[in-house]
Chain A
Amino acid sequence: MRTLARALPFAAAAFFAAGPAFAEDAKVDTGDAAWMLTSTALVLLMTIPGLALFYAGMVRKKNVLATMAQSFAITALVSVAWAVVGYSLAFTDGNAYVGDLSRLFLNGIATNWDKPFTLGSGDAAVAMTIPESVFLMFQMTFAIITPALITGAFADRVKFSALVVFSLLWTVLVYSPVAHWVWQPAGWIAQLGALDFAGGTVVHINAGVAGLVAALVLGKRVGYGHDNMAPYNLAFAVIGAAMLWVGWFGFNAGSALGASGGRAGMAMLVTQLAAAAATLAWLFGEWMTKGKPSVLGAISGAVAGLVAITPASGYVLPGAAMIIGVVAGLAGFWGATALKHWIGYDDSLDAFGVHGVCGIVGALLTGVFAYGPLSASTAVPAGLSGSFDQFVTQAEAVVAVIAYSAVMTFILLKVTDVVVGLRVSAEDEREGLDVTQHGERIA
């Protein structure tokens, strides 16, 4: 029953050009669907084992398993929550602020299960060439990684029960609405015209700001600034970062929602270049200011660049991507070293310093460097280009997401604290979360 609404007013040529997405006999595009199935697997790989290893490698030996458990448990928890209510709140029409409950428990997914999916309705509807199952599964992997990113901020001290309660509430009440604002055609930020190709605001600013609030609410780790909190096994972190880098091709190039045309390819190219430029920027920045080019710096730089190019991929060309990468590498280095110590919060693994700061850099620079033809469509033939107005629009989206994420995260942390308690006892924290939360040790 889904039709390509926005194609209707156009002439026959344009009508047939959009043919594959049209009406009852439309068929799923095999190439697009194959790429999206692959991308979905790549994005899941970013969380387990990518992020799990990245974070676990940076904590002390006594918290390695608990840190991995956070990513793994969130993967399972959010998958179910997404099917139950999260997807419906994010991607059904609803109003400008949140979707409705028409896809509760994925109700109605059996209808048109083998037909191309159209997101939204009316003039702004996005006609895809993949089935809804693939789209919702792809989006599920984004919903999974976002709360998993937050765990970097409260690593080493959060109760496992608190993590479960908070992540569940946060996914449904923060992630889903924000995804709706930005990515559902009816969402108010989408209507505003803010660009976010793969999740600069929805994923990284959202998670980064939540991380900052979590670090402030939970307080510093016992012994912070005094005890040696050196990572137990940075080799884990290097492997994890490398998996994040590779998985990110699914994240960004997959956000083209298909392989047709040049957009996915360009998104992949700019992703690689931004990551590379940011790696070099952090590495050399650290080398010049601290005396040594650290491995942790190199992998942190890569993640910083990947974060910053996320909203811009699909909108920018390679030259802009390298500029975004350099700026992100230096911004992340500043965020994780200077800013954190200056303000004095204990964001254990720099969820805010890297994801928050570089997410903001990327979202804003998207408004500067967007190259119109990449986003040209029948509805907007000239595409969306960088301009001062676009920059301002990006800034509005950034401020809105920061404000909502900060306020809601604070409230949800307080609710969680009342329900199960947020933080382990000082004694348990010294003993380590592996043994006190899970009754296990790595060795």
Chain B
Amino acid sequence: MKLVMAIIKPFKLDEVRDALTPLGVQGLTVTEVKGFGRQKGQTEIYRGAEYQVSFLPKLKIEVAVPSAIADAVVEAIATTARSDKIGDGKVFVFDLERAVRIRTGEADDAAL
């Protein structure tokens, strides 16, 4: 099993979800996050007071998948979340040791 974690632009969430469903992905966790990469920040001005906002709002999505479809999931996210502009985000893949569905006690691939 693999855990795929991606940081994406917030407005890309629905597209990414729509691309993952046909691959057999059954669940997804989304978190609102802030961070910076090469995009750096933006300037905000309030009555003449300028602030460099270095952390921009992004979404972090986490999806646990069977190893067999991990590459397809990464590919789908990388394709749909791309706007070709700086700040599109990154995808990370981790090995996943165990998974348990709490309601039924099913384990590993059956729990995904």
Do the two shown chains form a genuine complex with each other?
yes
Interface residues of A (CB under 8 A from B): 58, 228-231, 290, 292, 294, 296-297, 300, 336-338, 340-341, 350, 353
Most chain B CB inside 10 Å of its own CB: which residue of A228, A336, A341: A228
B18-74 CB contacts (< 8 Å) to partner A: 44-49, 51, 53
User: Which one, B46, B51, B53, contacts A294 given CB within 8 A?
Assistant: B46
User: Can you list 13 A-B pairs with a CB-CB distance of less than 8 A?
Assistant: A58-B46, A228-B53, A230-B46, A230-B53, A231-B46, A290-B45, A290-B48, A294-B46, A296-B47, A336-B47, A336-B48, A340-B48, A353-B47
CA distance A229 to B47 in the complex (A): 12
Write the chain B residue with the least CB distance to A227.
Answer: B51
User: Which one, A228, A230, A292, A338, contacts B48 given CB within 8 A?
Assistant: A338
- Which residues of B lie under 8 Å from residue A294 when comparing CB positions? 45-46
CA distance A296 to B44 in the complex (A): 12
Count how many chain B residues have C-beta atoms less than 8 Å from C-beta atoms of the other chain.
Answer: 8
Write the chain A residue with the least CB distance to B44.
Answer: A230
Are B49 and A292 interface neighbours, CB within 8 A?
no
Are B47 and A228 interface neighbours, CB within 8 A?
no
CA distance A130 to B45 in the complex (A): 48
CA distance A336 to B47 in the complex (A): 6
Are B51 and A296 interface neighbours, CB within 8 A?
no
Given contacts A300-B47, A336-B48, A353-B47, 6 further A-B contacts (CB under 8 A): A230-B44, A230-B46, A294-B45, A294-B46, A341-B48, A350-B47
How many CB-defined contacts (below 8 Å) exist between A and B? 28
CA distance A58 to B51 in the complex (A): 14
Write the chain A residue with the least CB distance to B54.
Answer: A228
Distance between A340 CB and nearest chain B CB, rounded to angstroms? 7
- Which residues of A lie under 8 Å from residue B44 when comparing CB positions? 230
Are A292 and B45 interface neighbours, CB within 8 A?
yes
Write the chain A residue with the least CB distance to B49.
Answer: A229
CA distance A297 to B45 in the complex (A): 10
CA distance A178 to B44 in the complex (A): 40
Task: Map CB proximity to A onto B83-96 as digits: 1 under 8 Å, 0 otherwise.
Answer: 00000000000000
Distance between B37 CB and nearest chain A CB, rounded to angstroms? 19
CA distance A167 to B49 in the complex (A): 29
CA distance A290 to B49 in the complex (A): 11
Counting from the closest, the 5 A-B pairs by CB-CB distance are A337-B48, A228-B51, A336-B47, A230-B51, A296-B46
CA distance A294 to B51 in the complex (A): 14
Distance between A397 CB and nearest chain B CB, rounded to angstroms? 29
CA distance A297 to B46 in the complex (A): 8
CA distance A35 to B34 in the complex (A): 52
- Which residues of B lie under 8 Å from residue A336 when comparing CB positions? 47-48
Distance between A358 CB and nearest chain B CB, rounded to angstroms? 14
Are A229 and B48 interface neighbours, CB within 8 A?
no
Write the chain A residue with the least CB distance to B52.
Answer: A228
CA distance A292 to B44 in the complex (A): 10
Distance between B8 CB and nearest chain A CB, rounded to angstroms? 25
Write the chain B residue with the least CB distance to A336.
Answer: B47
Write the chain B residue with the least CB distance to A224.
Answer: B49
Most chain A CB inside 10 Å of its own CB: which residue of B46, B51, B53: B46
Are B45 and A229 interface neighbours, CB within 8 A?
no
Distance between A4 CB and nearest chain B CB, rounded to angstroms? 49
- Which residues of B lie under 8 Å from residue A230 when comparing CB positions? 44, 46, 51, 53
- Which residues of B lie under 8 Å from residue A296 when comparing CB positions? 46-47
- Which residues of A lie under 8 Å from residue B45 when comparing CB positions? 290, 292, 294
CA distance A296 to B49 in the complex (A): 12
- Which residues of A lie under 8 Å from residue B47 when comparing CB positions? 296-297, 300, 336-337, 350, 353
CA distance A341 to B49 in the complex (A): 9
Distance between B18 CB and nearest chain A CB, rounded to angstroms? 31
- Which residues of B lie under 8 Å from residue A229 when comparing CB positions? 49, 51
- Which residues of A lie under 8 Å from residue B46 when comparing CB positions? 58, 230-231, 294, 296
Write the chain A residue with the least CB distance to B51.
Answer: A228
Write the chain B residue with the least CB distance to A289.
Answer: B48
- Which residues of A lie under 8 Å from residue B53 when comparing CB positions? 228, 230
- Which residues of B lie under 8 Å from residue A290 when comparing CB positions? 45, 48
Distance between B65 CB and nearest chain A CB, rounded to angstroms? 34
CA distance A229 to B50 in the complex (A): 10
Distance between B112 CB and nearest chain A CB, rounded to angstroms? 34
Distance between A355 CB and nearest chain B CB, rounded to angstroms? 14
- Which residues of A lie under 8 Å from residue B51 when comparing CB positions? 228-230
